[in-house]
Structure 1
Amino acid sequence: MTQGFDCSTPLTAPKAAAFVGNGYKFVGRYLVPSGAKALTKTEAGIISDAGLQIVSVFETTANRALGGRSAGLADGATALQVASQVGQPEGSCIYFAVDFDVTPAEMPTVIAYIQGASSATPTYTTGVYGSYAVMEAVHAAGACSHFWQTYAWSGGKKSTFIHIYQYLNDVMANGIAVDYDESYGNEGWWNTRITPEPPTYTMNAKDANAIIPFLSAGYGATSSKPAQDEFHRLANALRKVSGQPEQ
């Protein structure tokens, strides 16, 4: 288990060094195009020089995920641009925030948002930040590969497959407000001084391409638009887990 924190305040070299001195190994920062909380290339270098790893999270507004797939596609495209600007290496993870208490009725829209963001970020792994219910639903849908749970809105429950867990919010440390996190490996973090290992794929392209024609046959055999969309989504999921571009 590794200790870290996330914050909306940009880190200076002295503050980054202070957190390293406190034993922290990673920091979650906002991968957004503008605003006071935005990670910049200069700050990414400062954080990296201090020896901290960076966890990128995209969040413009707390309930942005209610925009569904179209919002996810748009946010994923923006995240790609910002990742390039700040020097985030391909193969690392971009987490997309679902920063509110999602109702069961809203969950399909949230899943569609993460699916859209995942489709728009093929050169990065994709993660979701949110509550226990969000973790469970997005994981069951296979919408992304990385999971960062907050204790908020989770009722004391904790998913077994998560990579990062936010266990305390709004604490003052080294002069800034932070949230405390712990991680369990394969976080998808990055550092401008260290090239990440290339992503590993859970299926090889040959096997994926042997299955996809059966999904294509199902697509052609139905006139139901929801069914066709699901066949298309499943085919793209196979392409993604085998390292191939989506179509």
Structure 2
Amino acid sequence: MTQGFDCATPLNATLAAAFKAQGFDFVCRYLVPQGWKRLTREEAEAIGEAGLHIVSVYETTADRALGGREAGLRDGAAAVQTAKAVGQPEGSAIYFAVDFDATAAQMPTVIDYIRAAGETAPGYLTGVYGSCSVIEAVRDAGVCSRYWQTYAWSRGRKADGIHIYQYRNDIRANGIGIDLDESYGDEGWWSGVGYRLKAEDVNEIIERFLAHEFDKASDADKVRRNELANELRKASGQPLHYYEP
């Protein structure tokens, strides 16, 4: 489990370093085309240089998902364009927010929204942020692969198989308002540091020299192999992989 937070306030290098020093490993930031809360390439680089990973979330208005398929198509396309502009690598995740207490009657529209957003975001993993009921409905419909649940509107329930859990809202830290999150692996986060290695070169190195290195090794050696591979993935801006013996 790793600790993180989400916030609307853009982070500079000083803020990012302060949060890292306090034990945070990731920050969830808004991947939107415009507005004061949007993530920029410069901010992504500052966050990456501080050693924090980024979780991208697309949200313009809290109930945007009620726009259904048409809204999802537009938002997916906008999210991809923005992701490329800030340097987010393909293979990482974009979470689309359902930031309200969606009812059972509204779930088909929410599902249509998430499905459409994924259709127009090729190359990226599609995720959803929302209550336990939203997570369960979207997961059962099979329209995305990453799940970020908030405790809000969840009425004490926690869905199975989630990747991130938002467990406390509206606190102050380092002079800004944040919400607290924890993650459980395979979140689809990414890093904004400047990359020198090409992803295709890194993947060839992993396949040629690491993939079979410990085929008959102990679980500890397999964990170490994955750690080495992840260092290469980080250096090329790729999402990390997780191995549990």
TM interval, shorter chain, is 0.7 to 0.9
SS of equivalent to 1:105: helix
Paired residues of 2:54 and 2:192 also in contact (CA < 8 A): no
AA at the equivalent of 2:120: A
AA at the equivalent of 1:196: Q
AA at the equivalent of 1:29: R
Distance 1:196 1:11 in 2: 22
TM superposition shift of 1:3: 0.2
Distance 1:197 1:20 in 2: 19
AA at the equivalent of 1:118: G
Alignment of 1:75-86 (within 5 A): 75-86=75-86
* Equivalence for 1:61: 61
Q: Is 27-36 or 190-199 further displaced after alignment?
A: 190-199
SS of equivalent to 1:3: strand
Unpaired segments ≥5 residues, structure 2: 194-233
SS of equivalent to 2:82: helix
Distance 1:128 1:140 in 2: 13
Paired residues of 2:5 and 2:179 also in contact (CA < 8 A): yes
Q: Does 1:153 align with 2:153?
A: yes
* Equivalence for 2:238: 196
* Equivalence for 2:218: none
Q: Does 1:31 align with 2:73?
A: no
SS of equivalent to 1:147: strand
Identity of aligned residues (%): 64
Paired residues, number? 200
Paired residues of 1:89 and 1:192 also in contact (CA < 8 A): no
Distance 2:239 2:128 in 1: 21
Unpaired segments ≥5 residues, structure 1: 200-247
Structure 2-normalised TM-score?
0.80
Q: What's the CA shift string for 1:194-214, capped at 9, x where partnerless?
A: 321599xxxxxxxxxxxxxxx
Q: Does 1:180 align with 2:180?
A: yes
Alignment of 1:1-247 (within 5 A): 1-193=1-193, 194=234, 195-197=237-239
Distance 2:182 2:239 in 1: 21
Distance 2:47 2:143 in 1: 30
Structure 1-normalised TM-score?
0.79
SS of equivalent to 1:76: helix
Q: What's the CA shift string for 1:150-184, capped at 9, x where partnerless?
A: 00000000011000000000100000000000000
TM superposition shift of 1:192: 2.4
Distance 1:80 1:198 in 2: 20
Distance 2:163 2:65 in 1: 21
